[in-house]
Amino acid sequence: MAPALAPAEVDRKYEHGGSRLHFLEERDEETLSRRLINLGQSNKVRSATELFDSMRASGLQPSAHACNSLLACFVRRSSLADAMRMFKFMKGERMATGHTYTLILKAVASNEGYASALEMFNEIEDEEDSKENVDVIVYNTMISLCGRAKDWRVVEKLWRRLEENSLRGSLLTYELLVSIFVQCGQSELAIAAYQEMIQNGLDPSEDIMKAIIASCTKEGKWEFALATFSKMLSAGMKPNIILFNSMINVLGKAGQDELAFRMYGLLTSSGLDPDQYTWSALLSALYMSGRYWDALELFQGIKAKHPTLLNDHLYNVALMSCEKLGQWEHGLQLLWMMEKSRLKMSVVSYNHVIGACEVASKPKVALQVYQHMINQRCLPDTFTHLSVIRACIWGSLWNEVDHILEEVAPDSSIYNTVIHGLCLRGKIGLANKVYAKMRSIGLVPDGKTRAFMLQHIATED
């Protein structure tokens, strides 16, 4: 303890280390500590500092709680130098608690960044005298600080160190872990943290369950998502439209179309109205399950009952079904409807219709759609050219194939496709010409093209 000052010295109220000292009539440490706590909580930093220094000068020891209150006051005022002095005093007096470490780590992170706080935390962990006071709350503080910086790798290490130091995560620990991992796109880690949380007998909040279902959707873990959703319902929670849509989405992507439609039934029975995302997920569920006709029928139902909800994505799923079925006429109708509705037109929409024409062996229609998209100032991509070229080859439109090759930028995949198609149609002479041109402009043939050329090297058209 600091040596006590004689009353005569204190009466002069001299400055000691920049702080004004007062004569203390009250000598009870507990009473003075409570006074110091109240001053700290009221954010009266000057008065609290003077009382603290006066107690020390009088040989009185403030309690750890009182010191933490003053430390918190320094932290709130962003006075890192004062906070560090208080922290060092408490460590020297072996008064530092888990709350002390939490406060100083927050102060360092706020002023110098989370990396400096992490460095201090590692030093604290290595000190035998300090290690016993590093509890789960201190770990939660560091996890939160690193999580704000999106440093999920350090967060994972801190999580593992909890177990290594025989500490058990709290509900807040796992909520932080799941939230951080989800925000950082680490779905597998989020799910692992959630599973450990359940194993430890902790009940997750509704927000955590929602985050886990979102992670399961991303990872395609529909069974785990369904189990989590059921747990929510059992706990009396009421899922919102976003959660229902996530469930329909993950089930649909997994080919579980029947379960997806049962989920839709739960959605409507809960008094919620389906939105664009609901219909999109249901259409995708039918498409992923190969139920293309049902997808088109559902689209017609949406168009009839909810026309204002139609968007480009819903149209594109219907166009994908048309492509699979070779329903080029239906596809054309949908395409014209999209253009008439002034929806966002993308190359994808045109590609699906051209693909439907390819499946239905309608090369001339495919060419018309191809020309129309160019007139609409929608630039074809590689997939457009591949599809229309295949349609023309199987429709024996050789001049049109040659014309497209003249128009497009040199692309190995396109030339390879042309050569494959020509060889399969027995047009070896034409194939040789295209192959020669391909090599002359520096494009590299694939293995299949080289095999065709070796096989027919001496063959004439």
Q: What is the pLDDT of residues 415-428, one digit of tens each?
A: 999 999 988 888 88
User: Is pLDDT at 8 greater than 60 in this prediction?
Assistant: no
Say what percent of the chain tops pLDDT 70: 95
Contact indicator for 68, 93 with CB cutoff of 8 Å = no
Average pLDDT of the chain, as a whole number? 89
CA-to-CA distance for 181 and 190, rounded, in angstroms?
Answer: 5
pTM: 0.73
Tens-digit pLDDT profile for residues 130-160: 777 889 999 999 999 999 999 999 999 999 9
pLDDT of residue 16: 42
pLDDT of residue 9: 36
* Whole-angstrom Cα Rg for the chain: 36
Q: What is the CATH number of domain 135-219?
A: 1.25.40.10
CA-to-CA distance for 388 and 458, rounded, in angstroms?
Answer: 29
Q: Which of 127, 128, 75 is nearest to 100 (CA)?
A: 75
Q: Quick one: average pLDDT of 317-343?
A: 95
CA-to-CA distance for 229 and 405, rounded, in angstroms?
Answer: 53
CA-to-CA distance for 51 and 19, rounded, in angstroms?
Answer: 9
CATH architecture of 1-133: Alpha Horseshoe (1.25)
User: Is pLDDT at 1 greater than 50 in this prediction?
Assistant: no
Q: Which of 289, 290, 286, 267 is nearest to 300 (CA)?
A: 286
User: Is pLDDT at 414 greater than 70 in this prediction?
Assistant: yes
The per-type count for the chain, helices as H runs and strands as E runs, is 27, 2
Type of residue at 434:
V
- Locate CATH 1.25.40.10 in the chain: 1-133, 135-219
Q: Which residues face 15 on adjacent strands? A: 20
pLDDT of residue 63: 92
User: Is pLDDT at 56 greater than 90 in this prediction?
Assistant: no
User: Is pLDDT at 11 greater than 70 in this prediction?
Assistant: no
pLDDT of residue 127: 82
User: Is pLDDT at 13 greater than 80 in this prediction?
Assistant: no
